[in-house]
Amino acid sequence: MKILFIGGGNIANIVYNELKDHIEKCWYYDVLQTNLPCERMNDFTIPNEADVVVECASVEAVKQYGVDILKSGKDFYIISSGAFSDEDFFDKFMIELKNSNSTVYVPSGAIGGLDIVYSIRNFIEKVELITRKPPKAFGLENVFQEQIIFTGNAREAITKFPQNTNVSVTLSLAVGDFNKVNVRIVADPDVDQNIHEINIYSSVGDYKIIHKNKPSPNPKTSYLAPLSLAAALKKRTEKFRIGG
């Protein structure tokens, strides 16, 4: 596989390590020189040879380069799904995608159970995403019982809690309706790590998924997020695919 990474930091490094047996050639575009063992591009250009473009950078990078990537016709893997909370950008992107040869992949990121969500999306009544963090994560002290810091949809959550953006937007995209997903952010003195809980209510069943993610070398990113990106890329090479 020949990969252009956008962003050469922590996430790209984890993806590279997971995939290295499958990588024939790779490049990265980043403002900084990093330790990613791929050729650095000084300007944003997409090598003709590349099979896929893999964004491991930021919401801004998706917005800035997304349409150009679709014009190249390369398959495009996106970790910063938060870009799609911007309706104008999302509409523009989807129109461009219609006329593109690209397929776009938004891996499940720091959460899971999207296999259930996507399968039953037409039967979903509502979904809750409850993120619990220790009170000190919000700069709070002397909190003795759980305290809801935010409740609303993914788009509303973004301005207040940008660090939660990708999780709530990816979940909302899987549901196919931002208004069916209630995002709640809770300061909880009973937890010592970040916990994402997803509750799905539907006419075909009810589901609960609890995630206790451990951080990757960059503590702002859980390990699961880059591993889900690596897994989505690895499936390209597999003839026996489990889980759709």
List, as residue ranges, the binding site: 110, 166
The size of the chain, in residues, is 244
Could you tell me if 198 and 128 are in contact, meaning their C-beta atoms sit under 8 angstroms apart? yes
As a whole number of angstroms, the distance between CA 189 and CA 230 comes to 34
Q: Which is nearer to a second copy, 104 or 137 (CB)?
A: 104
| Residue 196 annotated among the catalytic residues of the structure | yes
Contacting positions for a second copy (CB under 8 A): 18, 94, 97-98, 100, 102-108, 112-120, 122-123, 170, 173-174, 203-214, 222-224, 227-228, 230-232, 235, 238-244
Nearest to 188 by CA among 128, 222, 157, 144: 144
Strand, coil or helix: 244: coil
Annotated binding site for NAD(+): 110, 166
How many beta carbons lie within 10 A of that of residue 82, not counting itself?
25
Query: Which of 219-232 are b and which e, b meaning 16 or more Cβ less than 10 Å from the residue's Cβ?
Result: eebbebbbbbbbbb
- In the DSSP assignment, the letter for residue 214 is P
As a whole number of angstroms, the distance between CA 146 and CA 148 comes to 7
Q: Which is nearer to a second copy, 105 or 138 (CB)?
A: 105
Q: Compute the least distance from the CB of residue 105 to a second copy, in Å.
A: 5
Would you state the structure tokens that stand for residue 81, as one six-digit string?
């799904």
Q: Compute the least distance from the CB of residue 209 to a second copy, in Å.
A: 5
Q: Please name the helix (run of DSSP H) or strand (run of DSSP E) that holds residue 166, with its range, or none.
A: helix 165-175
Q: Which is nearer to a second copy, 58 or 199 (CB)?
A: 199
Q: Exactly one of 114, 196, 226, 230 is catalytic; which is it?
A: 196
How many beta carbons lie within 10 A of that of residue 142, not counting itself?
6
Q: Compute the least distance from the CB of residue 236 to a second copy, in Å.
A: 10
Q: Which is nearer to a second copy, 20 or 160 (CB)?
A: 20
Q: Compute the least distance from the CB of residue 1 to a second copy, in Å.
A: 15
Point out the residues that are catalytic.
196
